[in-house]
Amino acid sequence: MSEIENGQGLQARRAAITDLGDALRLLIEQATATEAPTADLLRAAALIRQAGAPLGERARGRFETASADDLLGGVRLYNPVTGGGSAFAPPLEIHRDGDVAVGSCTLGRAFEGPPSFAHGGVSAMLLDQMLGYACGMSGHPGMTVQLDTAYRQPVPLYTPLRLTARVAAVDRRVITATGTIATAEDPASILVRATGTFVALLPEQAQRLFGPVMGRGR
Ligand SMILES: CCCCC/C=C\C/C=C\C/C=C\C/C=C\CCCC(=O)SCCNC(=O)CCNC(=O)[C@H](O)C(C)(C)COP(=O)(O)OP(=O)(O)OC[C@H]1O[C@@H](n2cnc3c(N)ncnc32)[C@H](O)[C@@H]1OP(=O)(O)O
């Protein structure tokens, strides 16, 4: 894509993707929290369809990575958990602190399960990402083959959260990682704990699963 062949164009595109993601996340928050009159809902639906139409004119296929992504460099702008371009992502921000991955995010209304608290599947999704990041960070990237979650207390919406993950054991291709969710205000009170098992892919497994994607050379 010639538009992003120079680095400046790439930075501008990534910033624009994140700007669009911010706008979409605001829209989702407004749309899930709204009690506006019914006529306003219909008007908004029509305007949103109109606004989105140009985006559909050039779309990538299933096996094409986004031109602004850098798969091997770990840049995934549409990751549904961490991606700044994803309407669906909180987004979760993760950084490394020694051998621990530390994450932060705040969940809005769209992630609600029990009234005023997060859906359990959302907590599992956040922890899967955290554990996967800890595996990659430790030099043992793998795919999740099992994820066990213990829900000790509900996770509140509209509250800054602090997540952690670390690798507990590596046995040849099998990596075990553990993680937690707490509020940023009270990080010692663990709301959700998870233990995940990850498997490092054999070359033939990687080829079978990701060959069609990697073949495109991005
Ligand atoms: C890619 C390079 C990246 C470089 C990254 C560097 C830094 C990156 C930093 C951060 C990365 C950031 C974030 C990470 C992102 C996301 C996290 C989310 C990850 C996911 O969300 S990913 C999607 C969900 N995930 C799947 O979609 C997997 C479906 N699955 C399969 O595709 C197969 O399952 C496969 C191919 C994985 C394995 O193939 P298979 O199943 O045939 O297993 P195989 O024979 O190869 O066994 C090998 C050993 O695993 C043991 N084993 C198997 N299952 C087990 C279990 N349940 N419990 C305990 N051990 C188990 C066996 O017992 C054996 O152990 P042993 O070797 O000791 O005998």
CATH classification at residue 153: 3.10.129.10
Facing residues of 145 across strands?
none
Average pLDDT value over all residues in the chain: 95
Predicted-complex ipTM score: 0.88
Domain range enclosing 115: 93-207
Query: How much distance in Å is there from the Cα of 129 to the middle of ligand 1?
Result: 13
Task: Determine whether the shortest distance from the Cβ of 41 to ligand 1 is under 6 A.
Answer: no
Task: Write down the pTM of the prediction.
Answer: 0.93
Number of domains in the chain: 1
Residue 218 confidence (pLDDT)? 42
Query: How much distance in Å is there from the Cα of 168 to the middle of ligand 1?
Result: 16
- Say if residues 210 and 172 touch (Cβ distance below 8 Å): no
Task: Determine whether the shortest distance from the Cβ of 137 to ligand 1 is under 6 A.
Answer: yes
Q: Does 98 score more than 80 pLDDT?
A: yes
Task: Determine whether the shortest distance from the Cβ of 42 to ligand 1 is under 6 A.
Answer: no
Specify if 119 maps to a domain: yes
Specify if 63 maps to a domain: no
pLDDT tens by residue, 34-81: 999 999 999 999 999 999 999 999 999 999 999 999 988 889 999 999
Nearest-angstrom CA–CA distance, 6 and 28: 33
Nearest-angstrom CA–CA distance, 161 and 143: 25
Query: How much distance in Å is there from the Cα of 81 to the middle of ligand 1?
Result: 19
Whole-number percent of the chain with pLDDT over 90 = 92
Specify if 194 maps to a domain: yes
Plot region of 45 (φ>0 → left; ψ -120 to 50 → alpha; else → beta): alpha
Whole-number percent of the chain with pLDDT over 70 = 96
What's the rounded mean pLDDT across residues 11-22? 97
